């Protein structure tokens, strides 16, 4: 499976000129970036900047930024989608994962540092 298959919608491109909206839309729609920019500038000129300018800024605010690395799995895409749309939800997910790891490490430490753990015998066996 290609890494690009996991993209669920248009992203703001990190290689764009201004906010990456035109490049992101062009890549999502699989059209030329030049034509997308041409029609955007034409819209700016013909409408007197206000409607197209407002739509462009709103699109820049609403579109998720393009991931830095390509997704390797659907789980990566799901995590990025949750992070880009709700950082609090992603933070809670990471917190649960690290809390689980912390509990496992505490259990391991309690076994190893217990007085009944016979270090000398185990070291001398080897």
Residue 125 counted as domain residue: no
Q: For the packed helices 50-62 and 21-29, what is the interaxial angle rounded to 10 degrees?
A: 70
Residue 124 counted as domain residue: no
Please enumerate in sequence order all residues whose Cβ is within 8 A of that of 3, keeping only pairs 6 or more positions apart, or say none.
Answer: 70, 71, 72
Residue 61 counted as domain residue: yes
What are the φ/ψ torsions at residue 101 (nearest 5 degrees)? -65, -40
Residue 2 counted as domain residue: no
* Between 102 and 88, the higher pLDDT residue: 102
Its pTM surpasses 0.95: no
What are the φ/ψ torsions at residue 12 (nearest 5 degrees)? -75, 125
Query: Considering its fold, how many domains does the chain have in total?
Result: 1
CB 24 within 8 A of CB 63: yes
Residue 107 counted as domain residue: yes
Q: Which domain holds residue 82?
A: 9-118
Predicted confidence (pLDDT) at residue 5 exceeds the cutoff of 50: no
pLDDT in tens, 11-21: 888 888 888 89
Look up residue 90 and give its DSSP letter. Answer: H
| Banded model confidence at residue 32, pLDDT cuts 50, 70, 90 | very high
Residue 105 counted as domain residue: yes
pLDDT in tens, 36-61: 999 999 999 998 888 888 998 998 88
């Amino acid at each position: 499976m290609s890494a690009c298959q996991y993209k669920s919608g248009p992203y703001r491109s990190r290689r764009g000129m201004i906010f990456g909206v035109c490049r992101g839309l062009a890549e999502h729609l699989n059209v030329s970036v030049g034509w997308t920019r041409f029609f955007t500038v034409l819209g700016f000129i013909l409408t007197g900047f206000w409607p197209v300018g407002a739509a462009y800024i709103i699109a820049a605010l609403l579109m998720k930024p393009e991931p830095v690395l390509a997704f390797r799995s659907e789980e990566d895409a799901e995590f990025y989608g949750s992070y880009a749309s709700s950082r609090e939800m992603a933070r809670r997910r990471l917190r649960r994962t690290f809390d689980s790891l912390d509990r496992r490490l505490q259990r391991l430490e309690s076994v190893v540092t217990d007085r009944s753990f016979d270090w000398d015998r185990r070291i001398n066996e080897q």
